[in-house]
Amino acid sequence: MSETVIDTSEIEPEKPSLADRAKTELSFFAKLITFLFLFFMLGWGQYKIPSESMQPTLEVGDHLFVAKFAYGYSRHSLPLGMHKLPIAEGKKLFSRLPQRGAVVVFRNPKNDLVMIKRLIGLPGDKIATSGGRLFVNGEMIEREALDAFLYRQHAPRGSRGSVVGVDSYAEQFAGEKKPHIIYEQTDQGQLDDAGPFTVPEGTVFFMGDNRDNSVDSRAPMGPGFVPLDHLIGRADLMLFSLKRCKNEEGLKCPGIRGLKPL
């Protein structure tokens, strides 16, 4: 019995209809949108630094990736203003306590603004500043003098910031992998003698690295004690930075920085 051989080279494949192509495209974009939503809701969020409160660790114009999974999820982890949804306050899934010294993005419980600061106090800690020195549970945190210089403060477009002098110090908490750098304009500033503050359970205490230019948990107008469910994530990776100052003789100016871990 002979078999019929079909020459498939002469058969053209059937072209998908316009409806089929549209369905394929819509399916692709639906999957992409779902992936991006889950990425920014559960994985990482991108944030831009608008102020000098975390200098020199973070400069104005820095763009960061923030690990949202680091401390668990609450309604404040949601992107695109979805934290305003009627979800119970105080609820947090997979909640984990941050490490002292971590740079954390959180929502200010007083005014709903997103902020970024360094975590100084854990639940039960007693925090104080005296003569510009930081005390944690009665022990003064040592600092090593590094440099002294002038820089021009950031100002809105069309205006010129003032020149200030700062001393830079290396400071390190127990458990930190490496020291972090802080700025001090003076040791007799408004917030250089503050506290003691006893951190309540379920909350944490924050300070900026630019100690005399930071509205933080020490300040009456600051966020105060921040509930753990208001933590959004840990600042993990610098994406890029937009240089926001001009080089001037005698003044220090941060350069353009690229991708690097914090």
CA distance 60 to 7: 68
Measured CA to CA, the distance from residue 213 to residue 219 in angstroms comes to 11
Q: Of 68, 92, 117, 214, which one is the catalytic site residue?
A: 117
| Among candidate residues 132, 123, 122, 118, the one with its CA nearest the CA of residue 207 | 118
**Active-site option among 53, 77, 168, 214:** 53
Strands (E), the chain: 44-48, 62-67, 103-107, 114-121, 126-130, 133-136, 139-140, 143-152, 163-171, 180-184, 194-198, 203-207, 226-227, 231-241, 260-261
* DSSP secondary structure string for all residues of 179-192: -EEEEES-SSSTTS
User: Is 48 part of the annotated catalytic residue set?
Assistant: no
Residue 95 among the catalytic residues:
no
Structure tokens at 51: 């102020």
Region of residue 250 (left: phi > 0; alpha: psi -120 to 50; beta: else)? left
| Whole-angstrom distance, CA of residue 239 vs CA of residue 46 | 9
Residues linked to residue 48 through DSSP beta bridges, in sequence order: 63
C-alpha–C-alpha distance, residues 101 and 57, integer Å? 12
Give the separation between CA 248 and CA 241, rounded to whole angstroms. 19
Catalytic residues: 53, 117
